[in-house]
A and B are shown apart, each in its own frame.
Chain A
Amino acid sequence: MKKRFFLLCSILLVPSISGQAAEPLGWLTKDADWAASKSQLQAFGEKFSSASDMYAYLQVTAGGGDTLQWPQMGEPAYDWSGVYTRTGGGLSFDPDIAAGETTAKLTPAGAAARQAKIDRVNSTGGEYDPISDCRPPGHPRWATEPFLHEFVVTPNQSWLMNEMVNDVRRIYTDGSAHTLPEDAYASANGDSIGFWTDGMLVIHTQYLMSGQYQRGTQPDYSDQVQVVERWKKIDGVVLEADFWVFDPVNLAKPWYTRQSWTKLANDDNLLRLRYWDCRENQNNEILQKSDGTSQFMDFDFIENDAEVSTDEEVK
């Protein structure tokens, strides 16, 4: 019933949305023509004034999306079982370029914030990353985090999991709308709804917290950031996802990137996602220093750290 109501509302919006983007854009393969395809996907995102508009357009042009049933979960498009990791990209949100660069079209405020990060790292030789004490990286930074991932698809929910800090994104595909604004509150991974079409999981996420795409020289995002994603299983081993990030504070245009995760060889089933806690070993306690950099606090293998260390803040 909720799905029908939402679809009715969405259909009523078609004229204004379709005026911005006349043709839907299907999945584009990351092949030899990727530079041209990437430009096309970037331009597609720029036709929309907001992530909400883009998601509504995609949903309407998909006829509301496909209703999945449990027997379909074994089909290749929906069987995302296995242990994955990010295919590449390191500390760069856009995996096509090096971490010291960005393809984001930043607002003056966004550019200033990024330059401030660069200046701080250049002057101090490092930084403090808030995830050092197992706080969540948050979304959309979630896409850049390494380590092991698992993905669970069911007809009404999909779970996107990273072992790092036991981080789960829940995507509700049961036709529910977002939490109403009067009930919503910001969280690290926000509120995600989605639908399936043509073997793709389309996601819209909002009610997020501010953060950074990665540490180093990657840009920041504000608490107004929203993300539209299209996930697709490519060849049995690789999952790819189109990401369009909208952030009126830091981004002058939506930022398009193609993210990717590869299913790892795991013949002995040794690789599993296990609990991750920064407090289980005191040697992993990280101090945020007054200059904005990081330092280990108190090693269990050194009798008196304060006597040995030349760092005044350890003393």
Chain B
Amino acid sequence: MKIKASILLLLTAMPIGAALAHHSGAMFNYGEMVEVTGVVKEFQYTNPHSWLLVDVTNADGSVTTWGFEAEGPSTLMRAGIRKNDLPPGTKITIRGNPLKDGRSAGAWIDAVVDGKTINPRNGFAVVPAAK
């Protein structure tokens, strides 16, 4: 792969976030991880799933847009990821389980922005209200 992406074999089981997703995760390869570095093109903050689109510059200067699927807005809010946190142009390194069919998309696992790691799956943590 010529773009700034690396494929890592994962020995872990299917992540819990995927297990809780609104649709089956049959299309994702949970045995692989893709990591790309680029800039945010668009953050589609929508139900039932959000999509973070990232433009990645390839070695030949062309640009590939990658899409990373996360849960919907309420789960992202619980993970501390707000709609305006990732405006277009934001530099980002993002990891996810890629699609099996070769298209440039995956299930978003985590990302690093300004040295800070963000994880949309943290939104599944149950943080109780005060009694």
- Chain A residues engaging chain B, CB cutoff 8 angstroms: 82, 85, 87-88, 90-91, 99, 124-129, 131-132, 134, 146-148, 163-165, 215, 235-238, 262-266, 270-278, 280-281, 283-284, 286, 293-296, 299, 301-302, 305, 308-311, 314
| Chain B residues numbered 86-111 whose CB sits less than 8 Å from any CB in chain A | 99-105
**Which residues of A lie under 8 Å from residue B126 when comparing CB positions?**
85, 87-88, 262, 264
Instruction: Verify if B11 is at the interface (C-beta below 8 Å from A).
Output: no
Chain B count of residues within 8 A CB distance of the other chain: 42
- Chain B residues engaging chain A, CB cutoff 8 angstroms: 16, 19-20, 22-27, 41-42, 44, 46-49, 51, 53, 65-67, 69, 72-75, 77-78, 99-105, 124, 126-131
User: Provided the pairs A126-B27, A263-B129, A266-B129 are in contact, do residues A301 and B53 lie with their beta carbons within 8 angstroms?
Assistant: yes
User: Separation in Å of the B130 CB from the closest CB of chain A?
Assistant: 7
**Which residues of A lie under 8 Å from residue B25 when comparing CB positions?**
126, 294
User: Separation in Å of the B105 CB from the closest CB of chain A?
Assistant: 6
Cα separation A20 to B38 with both chains bound (whole Å)? 68
User: Separation in Å of the A52 CB from the closest CB of chain B?
Assistant: 34
Cα separation A56 to B102 with both chains bound (whole Å)? 57
Interchain CB contact under 8 A, A275 and B47: yes
User: Separation in Å of the A225 CB from the closest CB of chain B?
Assistant: 23
**Which residues of B lie under 8 Å from residue A296 when comparing CB positions?**
27, 99, 103, 105
Interchain CB contact under 8 A, A301 and B65: yes
> Pick the contact of A280 from B20, B42, B47 — CB < 8 Å?
B47
Cα separation A284 to B70 with both chains bound (whole Å)? 11
Interchain CB contact under 8 A, A237 and B128: yes
**Which residues of A lie under 8 Å from residue B26 when comparing CB positions?**
124-128, 293-295
> Pick the contact of B103 from A147, A286, A302 — CB < 8 Å?
A302
Interchain CB contact under 8 A, B19 and A131: no
User: Provided the pairs A88-B126, A301-B41 are in contact, do residues A284 and B48 lie with their beta carbons within 8 angstroms?
Assistant: yes
Interchain CB contact under 8 A, A276 and B103: no
**Which residues of A lie under 8 Å from residue B41 when comparing CB positions?**
301
Cα separation A215 to B129 with both chains bound (whole Å)? 30
Interchain CB contact under 8 A, B104 and A302: yes
**Which residues of B lie under 8 Å from residue A164 when comparing CB positions?**
22, 48
Interchain CB contact under 8 A, A131 and B74: no
Interchain CB contact under 8 A, B129 and A276: no
> Pick the contact of B48 from A124, A265, A278, A308 — CB < 8 Å?
A278
User: Separation in Å of the A192 CB from the closest CB of chain B?
Assistant: 24
User: Separation in Å of the A134 CB from the closest CB of chain B?
Assistant: 7
Among B16, B42, B67, max chain A CB count under 10 A is at B67
Smallest CB gap from A147: residue in B: B74
User: Separation in Å of the A162 CB from the closest CB of chain B?
Assistant: 11
Cα separation A276 to B47 with both chains bound (whole Å)? 6
